[in-house]
Chains A and B, each alone.
Chain A
Amino acid sequence: MVTGFDDGFPLDLSSCRPDRAAGDDMTDTQMGGLPDDGFKPLIEFDLDTTVLDDQWIYCDFMSSFVASMVSHNRGDPFMFSNLLSATLNELFETVYRTEKKAGQFRFRMLQKGSVDRITMVVPCGRDEQQFYLKTVEEVRAPGASDKYLELLFSDDKLDRRVGLFELAISYKAQMSAVAVEDKAVCLTIDLVIERETD
């Protein structure tokens, strides 16, 4: 099942390979590498889900590290890094709060022109797949902006959907979610952060 993206948006959904299970030895190409519409890989890593679950601070470490690694040669490297770190951290925190299966969490960042693409494979069962698929649908639905503000300023415990809503509404990210059998979900997020630094 695939959700997300308007027709004509330059995303080849084959970058998420439902025929492969999370933790399988997928190649760069199978994960959405160079053949994926000419996006060039910037950085990627795998992390055992037990390690990822070990410490919350890893979300901060990963987002700060990736942001600093890929922000050179941008129009404004510091502004870019600041905004990218903010967006990545929300994504990693969302993944941290996901009830994950044993396996490898896979993160990959690619670039084509001003578009930065993030792909993440999160090992998880059907319930958590549904969370991502449903949230991606919600962020595209009418009234999503109001819903984002409602979540952001909620008096209750913060809803974990807020990170994905923020990317879609505040950063105008395009996103898709693909269920990989009952083993994982693959998220693909396209961001134009340079627009934000203007």
Chain B
Amino acid sequence: MATPVSTSYEFGYDDNDQVFTLAGSMRPQDISEIDACLEALRTCAGQVTGMFYVNVRRLLQSNNVAFNGLASVLTEICQERPDVNVTITMSSVVGWTPKKFNALRRRIPRIDVVEYDKDFYPGQTFVEDSSFVSVLRKQTTMTWRHEKHILLRHGIAEGMKIADICCGIGDFALLLFKEFNPTYVVALDHAKASLDYARKMAKEFNVTGVEYVYGDAAEILLPSGEFDFVTCRHSLQVFDRPERILSELLRICKPGGRVYVTNEKNSHCLGEPRAESIQWTYNEVAKLWKHFNMDIEIGPKSRRLLLDAGFVDIRMESFMVTNLDGDPEEFADVIRTWKNMFADSMARERGDDEAFIRKFKKGFDDHIFAAMHPKGYAGWPIWVASGRKPL
């Protein structure tokens, strides 16, 4: 894409997807200054059949002069092309866009407006459930015991600018802040409920060096080359296009800085006794996630994904969270929550029958049994990988 018109905005057309994209900041004094863009919009609309997409997800600003011009051309397209419908894709992160484009939709019924971000997060509705918060905190407590040592091997150091993308409830960002004394931490997530919780916790702990921001990990509104260390934990696995996230992580990382990701391979969760039942259930978990276009098996693929994204000097290792790390009840609590989310929410939404769900749940119960057994062992493996952005 990208036909540079001025230093502040650009536009382009992808005829394969019939998408006209606008990005940057459009604040002309006179409408004639964006004539080329408006003419291109008209021309592209003339070539399409059916649906014409106008992507303003990265149009960070537009003054009323520009918006009036865009609205006029889009209105004209709808009047002159009864066979064409217009869909404007915007990001809820860019605050001004819903205000104005929704007003346009109300005037012109053949113009539809969609928030792209919502479609990009297939698992969001499951993990945004507020009841999930307590288990997320426990998970962080359990993984932090390992990661606070592992992070040092992946290049974290004091005084860095750190971005924690897909920060969830923000507790990992707080731990980073307290442990590694960074210059500052920006923590971004797409779940407002999680961010509210994160801000509340930061206030309670009197931490002012972490900024929690609402944002889309696939279209991060942070400057390029800004951060020494970028973390993204347990998140590539909940997107159907992890390569999109990695390209954004690479972009915001400073040349020479590192991007650190952690992911799971759920089918490798294990326990003794009752290993067979546990194994069966976690194999089914992997299939269930796949049904919802998420890959909970992505952990060992991290090296390839980082290399394909353009990182070098890949460092990779794995660790096992177990019932022996701390209180076995903590481990059991996490599995109970997985059982509820995977068996009661996701499997039911997939349409699984009661017999399957009973068997599916039994594996989780057996994992809990193994965790609580005086001679038992239960594990949850996690893969850590980091890559350096080339200079």
List the interface of chain A (C-beta within 8 A of B).
Answer: 56, 59-60, 64, 72-73, 75-79, 82-83, 85-86, 89-90, 93, 149, 152-155, 158, 162-163, 166, 170, 196-198
Chain A residues, CB < 8 A from B72: 153, 155
Chain B interface residues toward A at CB < 8 A: 8, 25, 27, 29, 31, 60-61, 63-65, 67-68, 71-72, 75, 93-96, 99-100, 103-104, 107, 192, 195, 199, 208, 211-215, 221-222
Residues of A within 8 A of B214 (CB): 76, 78-79, 197
CB-based contact B95/A196 at 8 Å: yes
Q: Within the assembled complex, what's the spacing in Å between the Cα atoms of A90 and B222?
A: 24
B67 close to A152 (CB less than 8 A): yes
Q: Which 4 A-B pairs have the closest CB atoms?
A: A56-B29, A83-B95, A86-B96, A82-B95
B95 touches A197 (CB 8 A): yes
Contact A59 B107 (CB under 8 A): no
Q: Which B residues lie within 8 Å of A73 (CB)? A: 208
Least CB distance from A161 to B in Å reads 10
Out of B27, B99, B103, B195, name the residue touching A89 (CB < 8 Å): B27
Given A72-B211, A149-B107, A153-B103, 7 more pairs with CB closer than 8 A: A59-B27, A76-B213, A77-B211, A78-B222, A79-B93, A83-B95, A197-B214
Given contacts A59-B27, A73-B208, A153-B68, contact A78 B93 (CB under 8 A): yes
Q: A59-B27, A153-B68, A153-B107 are in contact. Are A78 and B215 (CB under 8 A)?
A: yes
A to B CB contacts below 8 Å, 19 in the list:
A60-B27, A78-B215, A79-B213, A82-B96, A83-B95, A83-B96, A85-B61, A86-B61, A89-B27, A90-B64, A149-B107, A152-B100, A152-B103, A153-B103, A154-B68, A158-B65, A158-B68, A166-B64, A197-B214
- Tell me whether A78 and B221 are in contact (CB under 8 A): yes
Question: Judging by beta carbons under 8 Å apart, are A60 and B221 in contact?
Answer: no
Whether A79 contacts B95 in the complex (CB less than 8 A), given A60-B27, A72-B211, A153-B71, comes out as yes
CB-CB nearest in chain B for A160: B64
B192 contact set on A, CB distance < 8 A: 198
- Whose C-beta in chain B lies nearest to the C-beta of A73? B208
Known A-B contacts A78-B215, A153-B68; A89 and B29 likewise in contact (beta carbons under 8 Å):
no
Evaluate whether A82 and B213 lie within 8 angstroms (CB atoms) in the complex, with A149-B103, A152-B68, A155-B72 already known: no
Which residues of A have CB within 8 Å of B195?
A: 76
**Which A residues are CB-close (under 8 A) to B61?**
60, 82, 85-86, 89
Question: In the bound complex, do residue B99 and residue A170 qualify as a contact, i.e. CB atoms below 8 Å apart?
Answer: yes
Bound-state CA distance A60–B215 (Å) is: 23
Interface of A is mostly: helix
What residues of A have a CB within 8 angstroms of the CB of B211 in the complex? 72, 77
Residues of B within 8 A of A154 (CB): 68
- Cα distance, A166 to B99, chains bound together (Å): 10
With A and B bound together, what is the CA distance between A163 and B94 in angstroms?
Answer: 19
Residues of B within 8 A of A72 (CB): 211
**Chain B CB within 10 Å, residue with most, of A86, A155, A158, A196:** A86
Q: Bound complex: CA of A130 vs CA of B222, how far in Å?
A: 42
Q: Which residues of B contact A60 (CB under 8 A)?
A: 8, 25, 27, 61
Distance between A65 CB and nearest chain B CB, rounded to angstroms = 13
> How far apart sit A162 and B65, CA to CA, in the bound complex (Å)?
10
A163 touches B95 (CB 8 A): no
Question: Using Cβ atoms and an 8 Å threshold, which residues of chain B touch A85?
Answer: 61
Q: Please, how many angstroms separate the alpha-carbon atoms of A86 and B94 in the complex?
A: 11
Residues of chain A lying within 8 A (CB to CB) of residue B212: 76
A158 to B28, CA, bound (A): 12
Nearest chain B CB to A80 CB, angstrom units: 8
CB contact between A93 and one of B63, B99, B208, B222 (< 8 Å): that residue: B63
> Whole-angstrom distance between the alpha carbons of A85 and B93 in the complex?
14
Query: A59 contacts which chain B residues (CB < 8 A)?
Result: 27
Q: How far is the CA of A60 from the CA of B67 in the complex (A)?
A: 15
Question: Nearest chain B CB to A97's CB is how many angstroms away?
Answer: 9
Bound together, the chains give a CA A162 to CA B61 distance in angstroms of: 16
**B64 neighbours in A (Cβ, 8 Å):** 90, 93, 152, 158, 162-163, 166
Bound Cα distance from A47 to B99, whole angstroms: 31
- Asked if B63 and A78 sit within 8 Å, CB to CB, the answer is no
Q: How far is the CB of A129 from chain B (nearest CB, A)?
A: 23
Q: State in angstroms the CA–CA spacing of A162 and B214 once bound together.
A: 29
**Contact yes or no, B208 A90, CB < 8 A:** no
Contact of B213 (CB < 8 Å), options: A78, A162, A166: A78
Cα separation A60 to B61 with both chains bound (whole Å):
10
Whole-angstrom distance between the Cβ of B184 and the nearest chain A Cβ = 10
**Which chain A residue lies CB-closest to B72?**
A155
Docked pose: A56 CA to B213 CA in angstroms:
31
Nearest-neighbour CB distance to chain B for A76, whole angstroms, equals 5
A162 to B, closest residue via Cβ: B64
